[in-house]
Each structure stands twice: as C-alpha cells, then as structure tokens.
Amino acid sequence: MYQYLKKLLTKRIIFFQKRIDEVYLKRSSRQYMKSLIRKRNLPKLTTEEVKQAKSYYKTKGYKLSNTYWHRYYKAMNGEFHKDYVPFDIFKSIISPRLNQQRQYPALLDKNMLYNIFKDFKQPIHVVQNINGFYYVNNQIVDVTDAIKACNSNSNHFIIKPTVGSGQGRMVNAFTVKDSMTSYKNLSLLELFKLYHKDFIVQEFLEQSDLLNSLNPSSVNTLRVVSYLNKEGVHILASVLRIGKPGNSTDNFSTGGIFCGVLEDGQLKDKGFNPKGTQFTKTSTGIILKDCKIPNYDKVQEMTKSMHFKVPYFKIISWDIAINKSNMPVLIEYNTYKQGIDLQMASGPLFGKFADEILDMGLKPY
C-alpha cells in the first residue's frame, strides 16, 4: 500500500511540474512575441484570418488564445496560413510530448554525435572536452596534449559548446600559430579556459563551391526537420541558411537568411532575414531560384537513416552542410531548442502530418 501511494504521489508531482513548465513556457514565449510585434509595429491580421486560425486549432482540440505567430509569419512573407504552428504551442505542448520526456542529457551532448552517427560524414574533430575531460583520437589526454593536437593539425578550426548551446552562440572560427589563436589573440590554453568544459574543436569544413558562392564567410547549412512515425521518417521542412556577410555562422538569429528548399533541392525564389527583408538574390549577386542543392536526394536519405538511430525523438531538426565534394555532412542535430521560425520560408511546419502530430500533443505524458 505504501509503495502504491508513493508511486501515485510521484506521478502527480511529475504531472503538476510539467503543467507548471507548460504554463511558464507559454507565457514567456508569448511575452517575447508580443514585444517583438509591438517593437516592429507589424500589421494586424484581418478579422477573417484570426477567425480561421482559431477555428482551425479549435477543431484540433487546442485553444488558440492569440495569433501572434500567424501575424508574425504573414508580416515576414506576406502569406497567411491557418495551420502555421505557433511557437508557444510547439514549445510547451508538442515538443515535451514528442521529445522532451525522453531527453537523456548524454544524447544532447554534441560530442556524442561521433559515437551515435559514426557511419555518417561529419567534420573532423581535433579536440573534445566531455564533462571536463579532454579527448584526442577518442583517448583521454591532458590539456598539454590537447594543445599539441591543435598545433599539429590544420590551422583553421571551429570551436563551439556541445551542451546547452543554440542560435550560434559561442560558435567561433579561428586559426592557430604557435599555440596562439586569431580569436581575440587568446592562447589555446586561454581559449579552452574560456569555454571551460563541454566543447569541441573541429577542422573548418570546406563547403561546396555553390554554397560558398552564396556567402563565403560562413559555412551555409541546410536545416532539415524530420518526423518519425510507424510508417518511417518523413521530411517536414527544409531551408537553406545563408550567413550574413562577414559572419562566420549562418544562424538566422545573427542576421542570416532562410530560403526554402523544394523537394528536388531547388531553392525557392525568396529568402528572409530576421528584420523581415525579402531577398531574391544573395549579397554576392547569386539569384536564389537559380540554385539547386547538390545531391539533395542524398541529404534526404542521410537524414532519414540518421533519424532511425535515435527513435527517442519523433521530431528532429538537423543541420547539414555540403562539402567540397558535394556530399552531405552532419553538423549537429537539435531535439530541444528547435527554432521553428523556418516556417516563414518553408510554410506550415507539420504539413500533411498536422492532424496526427497535433493529436499526439493532446495525449497524456
């Protein structure tokens, strides 16, 4: 009897904690979007559009208490869709039920990609720091040997956190000469201390000539969102992220561009930046609609094969580069901090799977 009551109490505590988290996530995300709309003075939706959006979600079992995200996306791309997925619903309801209850911390460490996805192309790792331990060639070493590894390899690197990072934060490119880096003139030891622990140093990836022509200062990557159900893995959305001129990252939050990708790898005719500016060509003069991602069919095949490796997560956002040989290379995968702003370039996120995904969001934990 005692064990039964204890188990019941534990379940109730977990349930109420999740409900509290849900309310907090909804409130914080709504406040952010409301502030952004006010700051940019984005145009309102029509009365009919508001009615359509709320009616759509009501038929799916959800109360759409605001249309902030519908308003935001329409302001960005000029298109209204009643089935845009609001971030507050995705973050507080959909993601926890499809992904977060299975968020094992070790699986979120980007250092683990080399173990989980060892059969797929990835950037060459030079130094890994996992929970404070330095690794070189999959062996624990001291910091002196970690420094030597950077001095003896290619002198052009990327360093980034592997736990709790997002939106390109602390992702930096640097070169090395005699243990001194080009990043703020720090020594390698000082750079390692800056990142403290849980980070990785990789050789800088030489990208496809086509993608390099779009913006040569950044590695321009595909963000591919996949969905796993009993029938297999399906591609929900795909966009190309093009970096802002001079930036070393291609993240949308740092001024990059989202451009939707069609099923055959052809780019759509428009790209969008965070300010809502639309682009038909890049800063280098390349017309977007004239570009086609090399070997895009292999990108799709790779994404589907990788998703099967981690069935704990039903929706995954993958970052994939195209290397100098025009082959796909896994950069990282995202199961928690999945930015769904890409809907402005790709359209409503769930597409034909909206009914079943939204239905799963209503299931109990």
- Per residue in 246-266, pLDDT tens? 887 777 777 789 999 999 999
Question: Do residue 295 and residue 198 come from a single domain?
Answer: no
pLDDT score, position 119: 96
Residue 116 domain flag: no
Residues 296, 289 contacting (CB under 8 angstroms): no
Parallel, antiparallel or unpaired: strands 199-203 and 156-161: antiparallel
Last residue of a domain, one of 49, 70, 101: 101
Question: Do residue 211 and residue 355 come from a single domain?
Answer: yes
pLDDT score, position 25: 61
Last residue of a domain, one of 86, 101, 116: 101
332: which strand partners?
319
Q: Torsions phi, psi of 235, nearest 5?
A: -85, 115
| Total domains in the fold of the chain | 3
Residue 117 domain flag: no
pLDDT score, position 8: 47
Residue 115 domain flag: no
State which residues form the domain around 356.
207-361
Residue 36 domain flag: yes
pLDDT score, position 246: 85
pLDDT over 90 (residue 339): no
**To the nearest whole percent, how much of the chain has pLDDT over 90?**
71
139: which strand partners?
136
Q: Report the distance separating Cα 12 and Cα 25, nearest Å.
A: 20
Q: Which residues of 161-189 are buried (b: 16+ CB within 10 A; e: fewer)?
A: bbbebeebeebbbbebeeebbebeeeebe
Which residue carries 């683990």 as its tokens?
Answer: 112
pLDDT over 70 (residue 315): yes
Q: Report the distance separating Cα 349 and Cα 237, nearest Å.
A: 6
Residue 168's identity, in one-letter code, is G
Residues 328, 302 contacting (CB under 8 angstroms): yes
164: left (phi over 0), alpha (psi -120 to 50) or beta: left
How does residue 275 score in pLDDT terms, banded at 50, 70 and 90?
A: confident
pLDDT score, position 336: 80
Cα of 206 vs its chain's centroid, Å: 21
Give the mean pLDDT of 41-46. Answer: 95
Question: Do residue 310 and residue 331 come from a single domain?
Answer: yes
Token pair for residue 344?
């402005």
Residue 114 domain flag: no
Greatest mean pLDDT range, 3-7, 46-50, 174-178: 46-50
Residue 212 domain flag: yes
Edge-to-edge strands, sheet with 180-181: 139-141, 133-136, 125-130, 199-203, 156-161, 172-177, 180-181
Residue 15 domain flag: yes
Give the mean pLDDT of 280-299. Answer: 96
238 Cβ neighbours under 8 A, 6+ residues apart: 222, 223, 224, 225, 260, 261, 346
Question: Do residue 90 and residue 139 come from a single domain?
Answer: no
Residue 37 domain flag: yes
Question: Do residue 354 and residue 214 come from a single domain?
Answer: yes
Question: Do residue 299 and residue 321 come from a single domain?
Answer: yes
- Per residue in 200-243, pLDDT tens? 999 999 999 999 999 999 999 999 999 999 999 999 999 999 99
- Per residue in 149-178, pLDDT tens? 999 877 889 999 998 766 567 889 899 998
pLDDT over 60 (residue 22): no
What is the value of pTM for the model shown? Answer: 0.89
Mean pLDDT estimate for the chain: 89
Question: Do residue 161 and residue 87 come from a single domain?
Answer: no
The CA distances from residue 117 to 24, 280, 291, in Å, are 34, 36, 29
Question: Do residue 186 and residue 312 come from a single domain?
Answer: no
pLDDT score, position 238: 97
Question: Do residue 245 and residue 184 come from a single domain?
Answer: no
Give the mean pLDDT of 190-209. Answer: 95
Question: Do residue 179 and residue 249 come from a single domain?
Answer: no
Question: Do residue 235 and residue 341 come from a single domain?
Answer: yes
Last residue of a domain, one of 162, 187, 203: 203
Question: Do residue 75 and residue 61 come from a single domain?
Answer: yes
How does residue 17 score in pLDDT terms, banded at 50, 70 and 90?
A: very low
Which residue carries 């799916």 as its tokens?
Answer: 60
